[in-house]
Structure 1
Amino acid sequence: MVAVAQYGTIKGNITTTDGQIAEGISVGVAGTSIGASTDAQGRYIINRVKPGVYTLMVQVVGLEPQEQSVTVVAGKTSEANFTLKESALKLQEVVVRAQQSKYKADLPSESLRLSAPLIETPQNIQVVTNDVIKDQQIFDMLEGVSRNVSGVTVQEHWGNYTRMTMRGARVAPFRNGMNVESTWGPLSEDMSFVERIEFVKGPAGFMLANGDPAGFYNVVTKKPTGTTKQEVNFTFGSYNTLRATADLDGSITKDGKLQYRLNLMGQQKDSWRDYEYNNRYSIAPVLKYKFSDKTSLTAEYTYQYSRMSAIGSAYVFSDEGFEDLPRSFTTADPNLEPSDMNDHSAFLLFEHNISDKWKLTAQTSYFDYRQEGSSLWIAGKVLENGDMTRTLNSWDASNKSKFGQLFVNGEVQTGAITHRILGGLDFGDKEYLADWSQYFVLDAEAPFNIYQPIYGQIIPPTVDHSVPLEDRPYVSTLAQKYGAAYVQDELGFWDNKLRLTLAGRYTKLATNQYGAIIKNEKFTPRVGISASVDRNTSVYALYDQAFIPQLGQLSNGGEVKPITGNNLEVGLKKDWFGGRWNSTVSVYQITKNDQLISDPASDPSQNLSLQIGQGQTKGVELDVRGQLTPALNLTMNYAYTDSEITEGMAGSALEVGDKVPGFAKHISNAWLSYKLNKGLLQGAGVSLGYQWQSERYPWTYREDASMQLPDYFRLDGAVSYQLKKISLAVNVNNLLDEYLYSGGAFDFDYDGTLDGYVWQTETPRSYRVSIGYRF
């Protein structure tokens, strides 16, 4: 027998006297420890409140507190809206002085399609907020984002795109709910136009098409808030770093129906390696028109430009072992031409609240990435005396993608059971073209010596970019078209204390892999259960099947099969001290069939792969984030990961029991930020954080102790000061000046024998100074 509902919900919005959204405002229930804060849309939600009459309190330092009486009815949602007795402009001054960094998010972004708070979701979802990004002075996705989520790493990279791993596999990049993954891409997002980054652990095909069992990360871009606020920042630092950003937010019309957001960025940045640089700029305008309180249309465009040194110059080679060369060593040359990237993306988002309980969302997007450049690599061995031969390939590329999404979500009641319904359609069309056919030997006259390098002596090769990429005879094509339909019902029992998720997705797709057309279709079910122990604690269990196409080229020329498999997971989530901080513990087991891994006996610059029969990854993860005290914010995590082959593959040296390459068994990170709220030093802050990894297995792993990576430890710190509208921050990375790197064993002759080493170094001790002004 189903019991009568015992709790209700309070939600609402907070605005200012001039009709603007009030973000980051705390709402508390008098006489209790429960409460919430408003998000970027000015909304808040307080769950699991016992029936009765309560007094809600809104307090902002420097403003008169406000109170409002609200009646909570079991099984119902009560609404309480506030209008602060202050203009948005004045409120900005007050909040900048009084509000602490927000390291914890309570709600997912709307692009994840979930209407439930994160604590009730039967999945491990970790959010890296904009405040964390600012405090750590992260410029783009390649820099330190991974440290804020358990088990996430960024290993070697080409410099133009980010490749993150989690739970033993590469995880797909999403932007605003769109799967924008390609084999090489997209261009790493600059943080100037990013609002938050959501790491969804485990599969999520019920939410978003083609989700890997390991998970994905979703980059959520900044949208108009309706609140007039402007911010500019200037940063300078080590290696000739100069960077300027502007974030302009407000309304164009007096009635607030037409709103805008404009983010601008310009950057010049060299490297600790000579002749290496990455200069960028981006423009990201967004317009939102509110037809009514129920209907809106948002148009967003982002342009990113990047000019960098020859791609691949960060890699170094030796036959003597890792750390054989100084961190400043490079195979780049000042005579080589730069590589240019032009990245365009556009979104159109339509949202309509059909009723208080139901919402319709339609979204379409178009991505157009163009690259003209070259990649630097090696031919043959590095000899004992250090002689080697550098080679250069053309790398002109095009990445075009089109997406469409239509979904509805809402809530219905059948007797005492609540149903949170989600259903929709996903469509995608992705095509990547690349030309590596132009090949040059840079050191044909005399070898290049890694111990006594001489730069500037080569005659720079002429790479022909004049012929349109589509018309070139040796262009390589990787493409994918898919369509998916899905439906999910989250059934809530005993006033939503117990939640059962039942979902399924049918996916049909076709891939073009270097001219081979492969078609697949599959239905994948999902079952999840989540229970609230009390209003601050929940437990969950999840079972999900996976079906993911893979784009790549097998070393044996065979057909690349899609990944199939399943995920089993259980977890515990808890909010502490009135919801100021949160902890999540999860235990999982992922089984994947036909996963692609790098082939150590092939040229990595050609991305040749092996396909294992079956791999299994097991792990435990812990994440803690939020405000421990009014002055102390923390993000801390630990992950244990073990990934090994459970079924072998023909023609490979990898056997059952071998580790699946590309993970670290133990990972722990922390970032602690302390800011004074009162006294003579009010506004001053200090931060300290570390990154630690142990038992690292590189992408070209073999059971050879001399070719394994050492443990990794990095210490970073910062000091800051906030004086009304002005902010100052100094960040120092790698405080201990450790020689840090990632890499792996290498096969110089591509004959199956690992006889060398390849790695990339990280920055030595370096600093960044940022000055900001809000108006």
Structure 2
Amino acid sequence: MKIPYSNLKFSFSALLLLLCFTAIAQTPGSIRGKVTTSDGKIAEYVSVQLKERKLSTLTNTKGEYKLNGVKPGNYTIRVSAIGLNSDEKNIIVTSGSIAVVDFVLNESASQLEAVTIKGKQNRYKIDKPSNSLRLDAPLQEIPQNIQVVSQGALTDQQIISMSDGLVRNVSGAARVEHWGDLYTNITMRGSQIQAFRNGFNVVNSYWGPLTEDMSFVDHIEFVKGPAGFMLANGDPSGLYNVVTKKPTGVNKGEATLTLGSFDMYRATTDLDGRLSKNGRLLYRLNIAGQNKNSFRANEYNNRYTIAPVISYQIDPNTKVTAEYTLQHAKMSNVGSFYIFSPDGYASYARNFTMLAPGLEPTKINDHSLFVNLEHKISDNWKLNAQASYFNYQQRGSSMWPDSVATNGLVRRSASIWDAFSEMTLGQMFLNGSANTGGIRHRILAGLDVGTKNYFADWNQKTPLDTIGGEFNPSSPIYTVDKSFPQFNRNSSVEERAVRGGGLMDQRYTGFYAQDELGFLNNKIRLTLAGRYTYVSQSTYGGAAQTAKHFTPRVGLSVSVNSQTSLYGLHDQAFVPQNAILTSGESADPITGNNTEFGVKKDWLGGKWNTTLSFYKITKNNEVTTDAFNQGKSIEIGQKVAQGIEFDIRGEILKGLNLTANYAYTDAKVTKVNEGVSEFVAVEGQRTPGSSKHTVNSWLNYKVQSGILKGSGLSGGFTYLVDRATTTFSKTNPEQNLPDYFKLDAGAFWEKNNLRLTFNAFNLLDKYLYNGGYYSAGYYFTSAVYYWQAEAPRNFRLSASYKF
């Protein structure tokens, strides 16, 4: 039967209309909402799941979430974070509608922060800086190269202090003038960088601060380039910021026992939890004890650390945190790590020492106290205020030769080194955001104040060998010809410091402001900032000198897409110097310019990231020791450091974590002031402590399934090429240091709450060292090489139990 065309046309039209109505009737809806905590704060990175559809997402930095493409129907939506109680709500989604479902988690923001970080399971990659860096933004959006060494990296590499192999995790960073495990002294981008803790500059003399024990450290942030606009006075080359452990609100603990080569015994305990049922009063307590000898005879470094922290949530918008840390060290004579010879580096056996047994130990008590107040003014504005007090007490001595003869004979001596340091520091800063038209403003403003005083008695010295009875390194006899030093300590170290000129002090005030302007939905971010700093300081008993300076800062960051950003930065630095010039005047502050460009990229949804940066730093007025006027300094002229740095860190594949980096550093003297001897510095000379090429890696793989699940292997290396000496001197190939290669490897196993970690360090058993060269007349009548050797192949085994 033939169907009329008109009927066919009508039927087709009716069918099409029916399909349209059906499609309209089935238009997907969406679900959105906001998740907050019981104390009214935003819940970031919380899992939100639609149970029936297996559709899930995470809340963003505003606590907001959205699930699109949800077919009409009845659903259960679940909000959870690992380690916390979940919450569920039933919801009906209708065609084309937006359902709004908000949640309030019973836990506080501090509890949530701890478990969401744990839930990310990324041992090496951290996406946001600590609050103490003051930058309320993801690292990818900040127009500066900032690298973070995570708690996972510290654990995997069995790092126990700041001076214990930590720098391998950051491109271009290296230690010079080791001083054993007393001071860290890290160089980067051609200069020694400043040491910070929780946002405070804790440098009070050239020799400090005491290297932090890792038992109370959460992670370490390396800021490359100047950050003086936000963190008090900082070197143009950068700084490292030690971030201490804080309470999380989750009741948990961990105990670790470590055994190692050279009679190393170490135990740590980390306790964390609530002191009140409502979760408003929290605590954290870290305790560590350590006995450790050396591969050299008569050397030891025994320490204990106690670090309690208390935080109290006064109301939903205000929290106060107080923490105290005591580090006690009892160690052999400080200068014993140095070896001197006229015949070149490593001319004696690696385990050779000049230390005489029986010298009194050096004892140190390092106290620090922090009080921090956080107050949320509104959803867009928050205020932070913190104060700190540091008290450092040292009683001991340091070895240093009176003479080194051309035949290698050494006349050893021991000088008293008693010191007292006191610092009182304060900060207050405001973070906020606002919108004007289509421009987003991310605002930072603050005030820094500080008072630092350092007193030292190093003016009593006793020779250990007589003239004619010098110490012979070729046939060492460690008894001393004279009696051991009996230093006069009848008066306080402050009084003795005044008599001997061992005084340093500094008072500073700084104001700063920054506005980050976000354009095109915050895809383009322009940073405009400035800082005004006033400093008054004196050194070695000299008259107080004052200086004031304004340092501007301009930065640009552009998000190419959600995982890639380009940045550029130009800023200046202002760094006071503790030195008396040969002329008798105090040294001018260092001023400098920094220009930097880079690319930051996250990969595989943010599981790992890379940073590539290019920089040039110019520094003026930097001083060094005057070779022919002992105890005095001289301004060199101008230094320029430029280079390329590349860092990669994170989970590359499931269970495979990597930290790797490369740095090319071209740091040299570009201008020499009149009167500077060629034995101190010459134009074109490399700056002390720099390596032209630095390559590091650390790889950690954990088996994910099967009979070996929970076990894994790790390993890495450090390779330094074309190293300069650690002192300024007239350069020739013999004086520069040889290339350095260190290989480490290990294995681990973990199941439930138990983890075993084993590492072998310096696996190839190479003779590794760092050192320098003194031209004739610098300290000694003849030219002398000096170095500090590192340990031969050695091992550590740790057992950790979480409860």
Q: Does the CA contact (< 8 Å) of 1:390 and 1:448 recur in 2?
A: yes
Return the match for 1:631 from 655, 661, 665.
655
Aligned-residue offset at 1:414: 0.8
| Secondary structure at the counterpart of residue 312 of structure 1 | helix
CA change 1:508–1:619 in 2 (3 A) is same
Amino acid across the alignment from 1:513:
T
Return the match for 1:45 from 49, 61, 80.
61
Separation in 1 of the partners of 2:719 and 2:626?
27
Residues 24-63 of structure 1 aligned to structure 2 (within 5 Å): 45=61
Q: Does the CA contact (< 8 Å) of 1:35 and 1:578 recur in 2?
A: no
Return the match for 1:241 from 264, 285, 300.
264
Q: Does the CA contact (< 8 Å) of 1:360 and 1:408 recur in 2?
A: yes
Amino acid across the alignment from 2:457:
D
Amino acid across the alignment from 1:144:
G
Q: Would you say 1:346 and 2:373 are equivalent positions?
A: no
| Secondary structure at the counterpart of residue 274 of structure 1 | coil
Q: Would you say 1:621 and 2:645 are equivalent positions?
A: yes
C-alpha offsets along residues 411-464 of structure 1, whole Å, 9 cap, x if unaligned? Answer: 001111100011010001111111111111100162111111112345311123
Aligned residues: 745
Q: Does the CA contact (< 8 Å) of 1:730 and 1:768 recur in 2?
A: yes
Amino acid across the alignment from 2:246:
K
Aligned-residue offset at 1:650: 2.0
Aligned-residue offset at 1:53: 7.2
| TM score, norm. by length of structure 1 | 0.90
Match of 1:774 in 2: 802
Separation in 2 of the partners of 1:79 and 1:615?
60
Q: Would you say 1:206 and 2:229 are equivalent positions?
A: yes
Q: Would you say 1:318 and 2:358 are equivalent positions?
A: no
Aligned-residue offset at 1:61: 11
Match of 1:6 in 2: none
Separation in 1 of the partners of 2:262 and 2:33?
51
Match of 1:39 in 2: none
Separation in 2 of the partners of 1:649 and 1:70?
78
Aligned-residue offset at 1:60: 5.9
Separation in 2 of the partners of 1:417 and 1:645?
43
Amino acid across the alignment from 2:315:
S
CA change 1:522–1:300 in 2 (3 A) is same
C-alpha offsets along residues 634-675 of structure 1, whole Å, 9 cap, x if unaligned? Answer: 010000111122221122212322222221111010000000
Match of 1:145 in 2: 166
| Secondary structure at the counterpart of residue 792 of structure 2 | coil
Match of 1:734 in 2: 762
Separation in 1 of the partners of 2:472 and 2:759?
36
| Secondary structure at the counterpart of residue 253 of structure 2 | strand
Aligned-residue offset at 1:246: 0.4
C-alpha offsets along residues 51-98 of structure 1, whole Å, 9 cap, x if unaligned? Answer: 967999868699999899999xxxxxx99768599xx99x999999x9
Residues 309-458 of structure 1 aligned to structure 2 (within 5 Å): 309-384=332-407, 386-444=408-466, 446-458=469-481
Return the match for 1:484 from 510, 513, 518.
510
Separation in 2 of the partners of 1:397 and 1:562?
25
Match of 1:545 in 2: 572
Aligned-residue offset at 1:623: 0.5
CA change 1:555–1:725 in 2 (3 A) is farther
| TM score, norm. by length of structure 2 | 0.87
Q: Would you say 1:115 and 2:143 are equivalent positions?
A: no
Q: Does the CA contact (< 8 Å) of 2:256 and 2:799 recur in 1?
A: yes
Q: Which moved more, 1:492-501 or 1:204-213?
A: 204-213
Q: Does the CA contact (< 8 Å) of 1:431 and 1:480 recur in 2?
A: yes
Q: Does the CA contact (< 8 Å) of 2:183 and 2:210 recur in 1?
A: yes
| Secondary structure at the counterpart of residue 215 of structure 2 | helix
CA change 1:228–1:498 in 2 (3 A) is same
Return the match for 1:643 from 667, 675, 678.
667
Which one has the largest radius of gyration?
A: 2
Amino acid across the alignment from 2:726:
W
Return the match for 1:763 from 791, 796, 799.
791
Return the match for 2:291 from 268, 273, 278.
268
Q: Does the CA contact (< 8 Å) of 1:29 and 1:57 recur in 2?
A: no
Amino acid across the alignment from 2:650:
G
Match of 1:666 in 2: 693
Q: Would you say 1:580 and 2:618 are equivalent positions?
A: no
Match of 1:75 in 2: none
Separation in 1 of the partners of 2:57 and 2:717?
31
Separation in 2 of the partners of 1:497 and 1:93?
30
CA change 1:70–1:393 in 2 (3 A) is farther
C-alpha offsets along residues 460-490 of structure 1, whole Å, 9 cap, x if unaligned? Answer: 1112333201122224111110001111000
Separation in 1 of the partners of 2:324 and 2:49?
38
Q: Does the CA contact (< 8 Å) of 1:48 and 1:535 recur in 2?
A: no
Match of 2:7 in 1: none
Match of 2:16 in 1: none
Unmatched runs of 5 consecutive residues or more in structure 1: 1-8, 37-42, 72-77
Q: Would you say 1:257 and 2:280 are equivalent positions?
A: yes
Q: Does the CA contact (< 8 Å) of 2:57 and 2:66 recur in 1?
A: no
Match of 2:747 in 1: 719
Q: Does the CA contact (< 8 Å) of 1:683 and 1:722 recur in 2?
A: yes
Q: Does the CA contact (< 8 Å) of 1:13 and 1:44 recur in 2?
A: no
Separation in 1 of the partners of 2:434 and 2:203?
35
Q: Does the CA contact (< 8 Å) of 1:227 and 1:250 recur in 2?
A: yes
Amino acid across the alignment from 2:516:
E
Separation in 2 of the partners of 1:33 and 1:382?
78
Match of 2:9 in 1: none
CA change 1:79–1:250 in 2 (3 A) is farther
Match of 2:194 in 1: 172
| Secondary structure at the counterpart of residue 107 of structure 1 | coil
C-alpha offsets along residues 489-534 of structure 1, whole Å, 9 cap, x if unaligned? Answer: 0000011000000011111111111222111001111110101000
CA change 1:479–1:564 in 2 (3 A) is same
C-alpha offsets along residues 588-639 of structure 1, whole Å, 9 cap, x if unaligned? Answer: 0111101133556676xx6x54322111110100010001112100010000
C-alpha offsets along residues 187-238 of structure 1, whole Å, 9 cap, x if unaligned? Answer: 1110000001000011112211112111100000001111111001000110
CA change 1:641–1:94 in 2 (3 A) is closer
Q: Does the CA contact (< 8 Å) of 1:59 and 1:65 recur in 2?
A: no
Q: Would you say 1:499 and 2:542 are equivalent positions?
A: no
- The Cα RMSD (Å) is 3.4
Separation in 1 of the partners of 2:214 and 2:701?
23
Separation in 2 of the partners of 1:252 and 1:373?
41
Q: Would you say 1:707 and 2:707 are equivalent positions?
A: no
Aligned-residue offset at 1:132: 0.5
Q: Which moved more, 1:402-411 or 1:202-211?
A: 202-211
Separation in 1 of the partners of 2:164 and 2:538?
33
CA change 1:569–1:52 in 2 (3 A) is farther
Separation in 2 of the partners of 1:565 and 1:93?
42
Residue identity over aligned pairs, in percent, reads 47
Separation in 1 of the partners of 2:266 and 2:320?
32
Amino acid across the alignment from 2:159:
I
Amino acid across the alignment from 1:583:
T
Separation in 1 of the partners of 2:568 and 2:345?
42
| Secondary structure at the counterpart of residue 291 of structure 1 | strand
